[in-house]
Copies of this chain bind each other. A is one copy, B any other.
Amino acid sequence: MTDLILSLDPDNTIPLYRQIYAQIREKILSGHLPAGTPLPASRKLAKRYHIARVTVSTAYEQLQAEGFVTSQVGAGTYVAEQLPLPHEPTAFRPSFSKWGKGVAAAGQKIEETTPNKPEIDFGFGRSFPHIFPYDIWRRLLDRYLSTDDTMLSRYGSVAGFNPLRSAVADYLRRMRGVNCTTDQVVIVSGIQQALDILARLLLEPGDEVLVETPGYPDALKLFQLHQATLTALPVDDAGFPVEKIPQHSQARFAFVTPSNQFPKGGTMPLERRLALLQWAQEHEALILEDDYDGELRYSYHPLAALQGLDKDGRVVYLGTFSKVLFPALRLGYIVLPTILLGPFLQAKKLVDRGAPTLTQAAVADFITEGHFERHLRRLRKAYGRRRQVLIHTLQSRLAGKIQYSDVAAGLHVMVYLSQEYDEVEVVRKAAEAGVGVYPGQSYHIKKAPGPSILLGFSGLNEKEIKEGIRRFATILEQIAGNPADSK
């Protein structure tokens, strides 16, 4: 009989039988209790540690169930024979695929927490919680949380919850000029997921893709990860310069933001939209229209989507609820040409079964009952005002020294500075003054032609915007006043 020393703690949240089980298990695995060793009778062990016998026998039963010990009536319990004990541990070193190495090289920073959140944060894409009608949202969720609703208990459809697809199709037809049926709408977890599936379906390594620069970095990184060759055209005030597409371009698709170029700002005029469609037709190419904030225009009505001009099924339209409801919702949508629908759904089914039905059902009702459009009107008013405050405050201090798009739209303003400024320095000094602003370089594939700063205003109130821009302007003035100091 081996001398089995256990260290039991009745105050631990782990039950005593699990403690006994775990310690004996560990002694067997480490070789301290060799094969064939008899364990003490459960009665003896219980007595020694002043615990109930059933506690010990439960532990023994678990060990037996898992194959660590064998037990025969009348013959006691023994450490199992012939267990192939593990070698000395050797740390696992995976070898990654080309894709896996590319991910590491793309060097996406994983920011788990923001330890020094700035006092006033001009980060992009934040939504302002007080604008969202949480009372209505809660009511809609509640509606689907009754116990007799079996909807929640099923796997959802891979294309999305049908009433939501239908509500989105109807909304896009009416408000965004998108030409689509319900079938063409697929609910995704966000634009990024949709782009990833499209890239996988369409791109072979080396295939060319046309993109805007500056542009949406996560999309550019994703295409690069698919080993696409990016042809990046520098945008002007009217977005993607279609006339500059190289004559011999073999691009499989163009990824564009016609409603409001991201991040520079600016709307693609009709001539360019039609010219892009012509180019696509002549080159058997596809157009990916990222309409991430097409709803958010503060002067005119929102412009109709490029997709609505397409007669060939050459435009894929991408939209998201992240900006207009709230980001944590994790819902977006894609409108696919019919010919891409089947492959897209088949791919999606293999990689992701779909968004939670509950949220989808609530968003569907939010749209069909008119809350969505009411909310959009409120958002446009609120964000339009915020943008105005930002622009006025900038103007009053820095008129003539900065440039920005005058399209009143979106959730941010990209401010272009003169060459004397160093983005990194501006960002750093702003941070020291408690203001979070973001360097334009990160939206460029190559070195940007000049310094620029992204100012998102959607997460701040008007007072915060005024104060933040005041501090930002002071920093720009300081740097301009002390150029010697600026490096």
- Chain A residues within 8 Å of B, Cβ to Cβ: 13-14, 18, 22, 25, 29, 61-62, 65-68, 80, 82-87, 89-100, 103-104, 106-108, 110, 112, 125-130, 132, 134-135, 137-138, 141-142, 145-159, 162, 174, 177, 189-190, 192-193, 196, 200-204, 218, 221-222, 225, 269-271, 274-275, 277-278, 281-282, 284, 286, 300-301, 303-304, 309, 311-314, 322, 326-330, 337, 339-340, 342-343, 345-347, 349-359, 459
Contacts and interface: CB of A to CB of B under 8 A. Distances in A.
A40 B94 CA distance: 71
Number of copies: 2
A355 B353 CA distance: 13
Contacts of A343: 96, 100, 103-104
A295 to B, nearest CB: 15
24 contacts: A65-B300, A83-B270, A83-B274, A86-B278, A87-B278, A87-B282, A91-B312, A97-B202, A106-B346, A107-B346, A108-B350, A112-B159, A112-B162, A126-B153, A129-B147, A129-B152, A132-B147, A138-B142, A142-B142, A156-B327, A190-B352, A190-B353, A192-B352, A352-B352
Contact of A110 (B61, B110, B286, B342): B342
A203 to B, nearest CB: 6
Given A97-B200, A309-B29, A330-B356, A134 B146 contact: yes
Nearest to A308: B25
A94 to B, nearest CB: 6
B147 A100 contact: no
A80 to B, nearest CB: 7
B204 A347 contact: no
A86 B281 contact: yes
B340 A110 contact: no
Contacts of A351: 192-193, 196, 222
Contact of A151 (B107, B328, B342): B328
Given A62-B300, A193-B352, A274-B85, A322 B145 contact: no
A471 to B, nearest CB: 22
Contact of A270 (B22, B80, B353): B80
Q: Which of A154, A274, A346, A359 has the most CB of B within 10 A?
A: A346
A290 B222 CA distance: 28
B97 A204 contact: yes
A150 B117 CA distance: 14
Nearest to A64: B300
A22 B137 CA distance: 33
Contacts of A150: 129
